[in-house]
Amino acid sequence: MNKTNININTNIKSGTIAEPSLLRVDSLTKWFPLRRGLLAGRKKGPGAYIRAVDGVSFEVKPGQSLGLAGESGSGKTVTAEMLARLQSPTAGTIHFLGEDVTTARSRDLMRFRRQVQMVFQNPYDCLNERWRVYDIVREPLIIHRLGHGNEHLDTCKEMLTVVGLQPAEHYLYRYPHELSGGERQRVAIARALVLRPALLIADEPTTMLDVSVRAGVLNLFRKLQQDLDLSILFISHEFSTISYICDTTAIMYLGKIMEIGPTSQVFSHRYHPYSDALAASLPVVNAEDKRPPARISGEIPGAASIPRGCRFAPRCPYQAPACTAEEPPLLPVDSSHRVACVIWSGETPSSEQRAFQENVLRRQDEEGGAA
């Protein structure tokens, strides 16, 4: 299997930063206007929009994988669809290999599509039921006019083998309804990979699979990262799958990134009270003692009514007056780790906040000691 067939350096326009980024997203925003009925027209003012994604910035380096974690309603799927150019952003930019692709059209868009592919959540929905596996996997090659018929056959066989559908001949001429969920998801991955993209966007690709099958698909993603040097933007509400796949993790809440950093750090240190609450809510298989309840109140509000200041403040156990005054920016806590919380940027933390701070630092020390 060849590595991705693009030379990264030649694609970078002169004058860009030293370390090339595969994907760079700046203040990506998607607001959906709220319509209020036939004659009323569009509502005006701040409540007039559903702020699904509200200014998200991050970067993916070649060969690296980023995880977007968050509850439903956090805007992670809308972000993914904007990156895949399925939805157009309200504001913000997407740079791919140094090139602005936010509004790329025709030729430029096709060039982008060859590099960025996507797999979806529901394996029972992502394949055209009337097509055979061969036609499904081959279609991108036809669209991009790559190779001829007999070459397609070889490429498809190779792709099916890569995704673990062996022998490939056994699958080529079958219809999706003859396949199980795990097999279907592998076909979808083969289709996404047939163009040899540099970036694969995976939107909850394993959530609908059974446990015994899911591990296989997760291992496949790992294999693709290693063998093809593929970057994966992995979207999931599950910490466990993200931590298995991604180098970097961003925790999203109501359309904004709350914390972003190296996966192991994000999950073990948990600088943001929201990350901490999420992790504390996960059931444990082999718990020695009873897990204490997570310190978080209420439920995620709708994206049409985003609270003032820090959007997590109303549910936050460490809330202070400073939290509702102004939205805290995403600030670095160390070289590669950024957090949007006054606990880490504020001047004078409250005693509750200081306790949380100490807790995080203790976890960090323990980890340092263990390693």
Partner 1 sequence: MASLVTIEDLGVEYRSRGEVLRAAHNVRFFIGEGEAVGLVGESGSGKSTIGKAILRLLPPNGRIVSGRIMYQGRDLAAISPEEMRGLRWSRIAMIFQSSMNSLNPVYRVGDQIIEAIRTHNPGMKRAVALERTCEVLANVGIDPSRHTSYPHQLSGGMRQRVNIAMALALSPPLIIADEPTTALDVVTQDRVLRELKLQQEQRRISMLLVSHDIAVIAENCDRVAVMYAGTIAEFAPTKNIFNNPYHPYTLGLQNAFPDFRSHRALVSIPGFPPTGARSRGCMFVQRCPFAEELCSSETPRPTQVEDDHWVACHFTQRASEFQRLARDPDTWLGRTG
Partner 2 sequence: MFCKPGSTPPGRFERGPNTGMFSMKDIWRLARRDRLSLIGFFLFAAIIVMALIGPSLAPYEPLTINRGLDGKVPILKPPSAEYLLGTNDLGRDIFSQILVGSRTVVIIGLYGALIAAVVGTILGVISGYYRGHVDNVLQRLVEAAYSIPFEPLAIVIVSILSPSVWTIILAVSLVYWRQAMRVIRTQVLSMRERAFIKSARVAGASDFRIMLYHITPNILPLTFVYLPVAFGNAVLAEAAISFLGFGDPTSISWGQILRQAFTKGASIQSWWWVFSPGLFITITTASVFFCTRPFEEILNPRLRR
Q: Which residues bind partner 1 (CB under 8 A)?
A: 71-72, 166, 180, 182-183, 210-219, 237-244, 267, 277-279, 281-287, 291, 293-294, 296, 299-300
- Nearest by Cα to 6 from 116, 80, 151, 155: 116
- Nearest by Cα to 168 from 160, 180, 176: 160
Kindly tell me which of 71 and 352 has the beta carbon lying closer to partner 1: 71
Q: Which does 183 bind (CB under 5 to 8 A by kind): partner 2, partner 1, none?
A: partner 1
Q: Are 224 and 193 in contact (CB under 8 A)?
A: yes
Q: Which does 143 bind (CB under 5 to 8 A by kind): partner 2, partner 1, none?
A: partner 2
Site residues for partner 2, 43-82, by CB under 8 A, read 71-72, 81
CA dihedral 16, 18, 22, 23 (to 10 degrees): -60
Q: Which does 362 bind (CB under 5 to 8 A by kind): partner 2, partner 1, none?
A: none
Element (H, E) at 53: strand 49-60
Shortest distance in whole angstroms from residue 143 CB to partner 2: 5
Q: Which does 102 bind (CB under 5 to 8 A by kind): partner 1, partner 2, none?
A: none
122 binds partner 2 (CB under 8 A): yes
- Nearest by Cα to 200 from 222, 184, 216: 222
27 binds partner 2 (CB under 8 A): no
Shortest distance in whole angstroms from residue 188 CB to partner 2: 7
Kindly tell me which of 38 and 211 has the beta carbon lying closer to partner 1: 211
Please give, one letter per residue, the 3-state secondary structure of 121-158. Answer: CCCCCCCCCCCCHHHHHHHHHHHCCCCCHHHHHHHHHH
Q: Which does 216 bind (CB under 5 to 8 A by kind): partner 2, partner 1, none?
A: partner 1
Peptide bond into 167 cis (omega under 30): yes
Q: Which does 114 bind (CB under 5 to 8 A by kind): partner 2, partner 1, none?
A: partner 2
Shortest distance in whole angstroms from residue 333 CB to partner 2: 27
Q: What type of residue is 353?
A: Q
* Contact flags string 128-147 toward partner 2, x per CB under 8 A: xxx--------xx--xx---
Q: Return left, alpha or beta for 11; rule: phi > 0 is left, psi -120 to 50 is alpha, else beta.
A: alpha
Residues 6 or more apart whose CB falls under 8 angstroms from that of 143 comprise none
